[in-house]
Structure 1
């Protein structure tokens, strides 16, 4: 019996003591602080779940802007393409100004007989060869892109005939002519305005096309607050075909730019004749730069 009692005492000493009941319902933390159990359970998301807020739509702080669709002009007519701030900008398009037979004959003559050459131009201080051939006719030299084309008063007879026909059709007079030869689709001219001081205020320019068709593109000058960003400006596309005449009038050179972009698919040669009027530049004015003119009110 003594052995059994001794073994019972030893086994009892190994057993863990049950914790004494306590009146607290909190949870004991390491820093001996107590947290209310009901609050703790609720904060863990098992109770008193919060209902989600209803979706509220807020107007964007900036309005969504869309790029305006490009306008295409290919029918004969007169088009007022914009109004202000410099005045009305106008295009006049005469497809088929020359018959196919006339255009074919004149194109072959001018392609073979005009003194075509490649002009060196300058951009941001760097010299480059223009991606087209040119020649100039007029009593006065013409300067653009920091390069001057000398005067040439010996007009080719075909050019004299064309100048008379263009003047009669438009009611305008011209004393100068810039000829451009686009040898294929790789030749082009970049965005620019014909706004040199020697052209005068709001110049009228008549553009006659011979040879393969090319797209003549225009884009409106952005307002000053756009800081030169052309993303949202109006754009116009004019397919110029063999024998077509396009007249740019009014504020077109002030408020718009134009170009003939590269077209990498098969394109044949194209001659573009741009009739214009050149004035002597004021003494002391740097040639080829734009000058502000003040028109007298009558």
Structure 2
């Protein structure tokens, strides 16, 4: 190849090179990309990438919940004779008084057999959400006034059995209270029961004293405290008490017990014999709700 041809090629290469644009130089380190996580944020930068002031990436922290963990209280058991203040609240003091052996065994045996055979036991029909159901126990009522609960009324009955009159007098003496009515319950076996409730009907007045006397097989009498308003009816974390009521035992519920507590006798499916429970109480005439302007007024009835 002649010298003139080689010179012509070099000249054309210089002219073509003068048209090419150089790529901007990248500052900073080269090589493999970093393993550090970078937030997906256009304003964030790392190392020497980009220009302008650099910002630190946000730090994410985990916070423990501030709501305290609540524990379910241990159920308490009351078995020994004595007076028990089970709660203090805005409604007042709630009290239980337990008197095991209120009647000696021989007398309790004789009374149990007489009442089981001679009281007018029947199964009451109650109503729940408009549907009728038979109570899972037998009952009878004594008192000059009718008694209504669970949307069903028991008629007045002034023909007290003589044994009940004698027993009422003994209960009034030890409780320093007077009673003019009596609800009798017969639990035929462990399948009979009564659900959670309070004896807070208007006819019983404010803070009633209820005297509960038991004959026959032992059954567990359970109580649970009413939940505070912020729990919206949730009974999970309330206080609970268990009281085994044996043959011849008297239990008094006083003060704010019916305001602040509920009670029940739950089913016990193992072998259980019959049990009679007699609950002495004082009832008052209820106001005439059909007369305009009538205010609630309780007038004590003498027994």
Structure 1 length as normaliser, TM-score?
A: 0.79
**What is the match of residue 143 of structure 2?**
138
**What is the match of residue 34 of structure 2?**
42
CA distance in 2, matches of 1:99, 1:233: 36
Give the length in aligned residue pairs. 250
- Cα deviation, 1:62-101, whole Å, max 9, x if unaligned, reads 1000011111111000011111121110000000001000
Asked whether the equivalents of residues 287 and 297 of structure 2 are also in contact (C-alpha less than 8 Å), the reply is no
- Cα deviation, 1:166-216, whole Å, max 9, x if unaligned, reads 011111110000000000000000000000000001000000000000000
Q: Look up the SS of the partner of 1:258 in the other structure.
A: strand
Residue 260 (structure 1) shift:
0.2
Residue 59 (structure 1) shift:
3.7
Residue 43 (structure 1) shift:
3.3
Judged with a 3 Å threshold, the aligned counterparts in structure 2 of structure 1 residues 285 and 76 are, in CA distance, closer, same or farther, namely: farther
Residue 125 (structure 1) shift:
1.7
CA distance in 2, matches of 1:292, 1:233: 33
**What is the match of residue 161 of structure 2?**
156
CA distance in 1, matches of 2:72, 2:290: 39
CA distance in 2, matches of 1:43, 1:129: 74
**What is the match of residue 284 of structure 2?**
279
Query: Which consecutive unaligned segments of at least 5 residues does structure 1 have?
Result: 1-33, 46-55, 294-298
Q: Look up the SS of the partner of 1:42 in the other structure.
A: coil
Q: Look up the SS of the partner of 2:86 in the other structure.
A: strand
Q: Once superposed, what is the RMSD of the aligned Cα atoms?
A: 2.5
Which of residues 183, 202, 218 is equivalent to 1:213? 218
CA distance in 2, matches of 1:39, 1:285: 94
- Cα deviation, 1:111-164, whole Å, max 9, x if unaligned, reads 011000000001122211100000000011000011000000000111111101
Residue 57 (structure 1) shift:
7.8
CA distance in 1, matches of 2:273, 2:264: 18
CA distance in 2, matches of 1:241, 1:71: 18
**What is the match of residue 71 of structure 1?**
76
Residue 94 in structure 1 maps to residue 86 in structure 2 = no
1:102-181 to 2 correspondence within 5 Å? 102-181=107-186
Asked whether the equivalents of residues 286 and 297 of structure 2 are also in contact (C-alpha less than 8 Å), the reply is no
CA distance in 2, matches of 1:230, 1:262: 19
CA distance in 2, matches of 1:68, 1:35: 68
Structure 2 length as normaliser, TM-score?
A: 0.77
CA distance in 2, matches of 1:113, 1:229: 42
Residue 40 (structure 1) shift:
2.7
**What is the match of residue 201 of structure 2?**
196
**What is the match of residue 28 of structure 1?**
none
**What is the match of residue 230 of structure 2?**
225
CA distance in 2, matches of 1:123, 1:141: 20
- Cα deviation, 1:33-68, whole Å, max 9, x if unaligned, reads x998845343389xxxxxxxxxx8844321000011
**What is the match of residue 251 of structure 2?**
246
**What is the match of residue 62 of structure 1?**
67
Judged with a 3 Å threshold, the aligned counterparts in structure 2 of structure 1 residues 225 and 81 are, in CA distance, closer, same or farther, namely: same
